């Protein structure tokens, strides 16, 4: 496989070349390394946008509407939809075809679902690699949409240049958002389904919570949207652009990207060591140790001591 | 610190001894190992119950109502409320005192919040240790309640003997539950806030989804509740007990506990290796490597190769 050629074709708009590169990244291993290396060299031009929020908040519909606005503004845009999916079924339920919807005929929009597959650290490692490939393929904007507000999902969505947190009226209150760590990652808040009762309260809750988090350089704006009819999506786009400008001119963008690199290196280091360890966590010796734990002869930490001593 | 004596006092109902043991576990390190070792020997008597579901589903209120029912049934019960909280604020927002509510005066109820603190693998390691301490302290039932439906949270709630998945009418549909991996971990489904419109639909969606997952030994019952007034909580408790009986008599309980031990040993092994590696990911050499990545001279995986080669 000539990764260099595939990447060049992807830059020229060849969708099947791009899809192939992303599949390589998802599968991992040595070929993924080569893709990652070349994509890294060619990346850095895209502005990345995270979309996160509770399941059912309407993130997919909002992302689709946002893509329309970004296109109308003249930019190429890619979407990486990260789906926690089931560790058992091992795949995204909503296929890329369903998601493509009204963008199916637009060559300057590329939408891809990525399953987390339940691997420890899998999602947090694979997502930045996939984003880098989309970046290297020349998309001006890469939207990363995650389902759910768990620790890993919020992390992945938060590791973008501009993170949009999507909530709904009556979803709960700002305390819930704070509990899920959403306040910390939000650069823009979006109250979607704002035509429902309680939108003003949701907005007020968020603004009050923001009042309490003093000392931040950037105060996340709160934007109302109704994704299903496009209301407020232009304002959401303007808020994202405004954050993008502010982050770039203040130097925060550069700083945050450098910090993210460190986080990623630590994560890869941990992953490599885990792989090296997996061989020890197999076979008769391992099973015997675990049986000993069940029998109460030793505890899990003592078992690991024995594995490491071998 | 005499861990043995503390554990004996905790078994006798000394709440401050128990609280101290849990704090030791949360802080980690060598003292936590000693607590874990002794707690492991004394554990295995408790039946553990996981409560998970999207933020705002009413899990805390439901847990509180369930605790009342378990008490009325004559059992001692402990609750571990796992809160993803913010990696920045580093603590649970809702304090244990707020959660205690109507159980504040009952010596046979113990409620404890645990923050995940955003550590990689932290929550999945600390939660089973804390559960073991509560088990060793002689509680017949230990309820583990997690906020949010992220990968880690679902994992932690799923690693209990009986996992209850709490949803709401109109929260979304069974597809959402499946996407979050909730169908796979559920032993009992609970449609809470069942007095709201859409409860019958939510239940029907879940039943249809369950119809499609053939070949399971146990079909999760779907129970309607209104946690705020206690409606259906007795039925929820009966469903939990029924699953408990079935798991014990079929041998699945023993099997699943043995499997969980293996998962935990693998996790601890990975953690220990990570700690050994953290030392490498610090200092001038590490910073220089990361600066090289930002400059495009090498990619994150190559940087890790260099760290591992040293």
Please, which pLDDT band fits residue B94 given cuts at 50, 70 and 90?
Answer: very low
- Whole-number Å distance between alpha carbons of A177 and A57: 13
The region of weakest confidence among A4-8, A93-97, B179-183, B213-217 is A93-97
- Chain A touched by B140 (CB under 8 Å): no
How distant is the Cα of A96 from the closest Cα of chain B, in angstroms?
15
Domains of chain B and CATH, by start: 44-267 (3.40.50.300), 279-309 (no CATH)
Nearest CA in chain B to A256: B294
B53: left (phi over 0), alpha (psi -120 to 50) or beta: left
Question: What is the DSSP secondary-structure string of B216-245?
Answer: -SSPPPEEE-BTTTTBTHHHHHHHHHHHHH
Averaged over A173-199, what is the pLDDT? 82
B56 to chain A: which residues are within 8 Å by CB?
54, 171-172, 176
Read off the pLDDT of residues A162-180 as tens digits, 9 standing for 90 and up: 999 998 887 655 666 666 6
**Cβ–Cβ below 8 Å for A290 and B265:** yes
Please, which pLDDT band fits residue B172 given cuts at 50, 70 and 90?
Answer: low
How distant is the Cα of B154 from the closest Cα of chain A, in angstroms?
9
A179, A294, A304 member nearest B269 (Cβ): A304
Read off the pLDDT of residues A254-303 as tens digits, 9 standing for 90 and up: 999 999 998 888 888 877 877 777 777 777 888 899 999 988 889 998 99
Going across the sheet that includes A162-167, the strands are: A109-115, A77-83, A141-146, A47-52, A162-167, A188-191, A222-224
Please, which pLDDT band fits residue B278 given cuts at 50, 70 and 90?
Answer: confident
**Cβ–Cβ below 8 Å for B148 and A41:** no
**Cβ–Cβ below 8 Å for A265 and B304:** yes
**Cβ–Cβ below 8 Å for B55 and A179:** yes
A304 to chain B: which residues are within 8 Å by CB?
265, 268-269, 272
- Chain B touched by A37 (CB under 8 Å): yes
- Tell which residue, B302, B103, B167, has the closest CA to residue A272: B302
**Cβ–Cβ below 8 Å for A301 and B268:** yes
Q: Are B151 and A123 in contact (CB under 8 A)?
A: yes
Read off the pLDDT of residues A9-38 as tens digits, 9 standing for 90 and up: 999 999 999 999 998 888 877 888 899 999
- Chain B touched by A8 (CB under 8 Å): no
Pick among B59, B91, B151, B260 to test the A interface (most A CBs inside 10 A)? B151
- Chain B touched by A196 (CB under 8 Å): no
- Whole-number Å distance between alpha carbons of A242 and A235: 10
The pLDDT value given to residue A257: 93
* Alpha-helical regions (H) of A81-194: 96-100, 122-136, 151-158, 174-179, 182-185
Read off the pLDDT of residues B11-36 as tens digits, 9 standing for 90 and up: 999 999 999 999 888 887 788 889 99
How distant is the Cα of B199 from the closest Cα of chain A, in angstroms?
16
Read off the pLDDT of residues B236-275 as tens digits, 9 standing for 90 and up: 999 999 999 999 999 999 999 999 998 888 888 877 877 7
A85, A258, A296 member nearest B41 (Cβ): A296
This prediction's pTM? 0.65
The pLDDT value given to residue B101: 62
- Residue B136's φ and ψ, nearest 5 degrees, are -65, -25
How many CB atoms neighbour CB B41 within 10 A? Answer: 15
Residue A88 clears pLDDT 60, i.e. is over it: no
Burial B53-76 (b: 16+ CB within 10 A, else e): bbbbbbbbbbbbbbbbbbbeeeeb
Pairs across A and B, CB distance < 8 A: 228
**Cβ–Cβ below 8 Å for A269 and B40:** no
Nearest CA in chain A to B121: A120
- Chain B touched by A199 (CB under 8 Å): no
Residue B300 clears pLDDT 70, i.e. is over it: yes
Pick among B41, B55, B170, B272 to test the A interface (most A CBs inside 10 A)? B55
A115 to chain B: which residues are within 8 Å by CB?
none
- Mean residue pLDDT across chain A: 84
B84, B172, B300 member nearest A55 (Cβ): B172
Please, which pLDDT band fits residue B176 given cuts at 50, 70 and 90?
Answer: low
């Amino acid at each position: 496989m000539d990764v260099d050629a595939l990447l060049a074709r992807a830059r020229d708009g060849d969708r099947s070349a791009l899809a192939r590169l992303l599949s390589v990244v998802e599968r991992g291993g040595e070929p993924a390394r080569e893709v990652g290396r070349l994509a890294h060299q060619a990346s850095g031009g895209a502005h990345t946008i995270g979309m996160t929020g509770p399941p059912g908040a309407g993130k997919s519909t909002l992302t689709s509407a946002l893509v329309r606005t970004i296109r109308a503004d003249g930019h190429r845009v890619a979407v990486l939809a990260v789906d926690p999916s089931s560790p058992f079924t091992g795949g995204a339920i909503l296929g890329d075809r369903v998601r493509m919807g009204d963008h199916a005929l637009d060559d300057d929009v590329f939408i891809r679902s990525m399953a987390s597959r339940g691997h420890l650290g899998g999602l947090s490692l694979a997502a930045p690699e996939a984003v880098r490939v989309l970046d290297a393929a020349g998309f001006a904007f890469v939207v990363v949409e995650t389902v759910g507000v768990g620790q890993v999902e919020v992390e992945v969505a938060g590791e973008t240049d501009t993170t949009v947190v999507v909530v709904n009226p009556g979803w709960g209150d700002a305390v819930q958002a704070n509990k899920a760590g959403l306040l910390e990652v939000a650069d823009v808040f979006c109250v979607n389904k704002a035509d429902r009762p309680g939108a003003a309260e949701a907005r007020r809750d968020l603004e009050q919570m923001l009042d309490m988090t003093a000392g931040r350089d950037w105060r996340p704006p709160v934007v109302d949207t109704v994704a299903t009819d496009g209301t407020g999506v232009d304002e959401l786009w303007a808020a994202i652009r405004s954050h993008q400008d502010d982050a770039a001119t203040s130097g925060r963008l550069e700083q945050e990207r450098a910090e993210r690199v460190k986080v990623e290196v630590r994560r890869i280091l941990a992953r490599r060591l885990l792989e090296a360890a997996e061989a020890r966590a197999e076979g008769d010796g391992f099973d015997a140790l675990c049986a000993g734990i069940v029998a109460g002869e030793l505890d899990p930490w003592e078992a690991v001591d024995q594995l490491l001593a071998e």
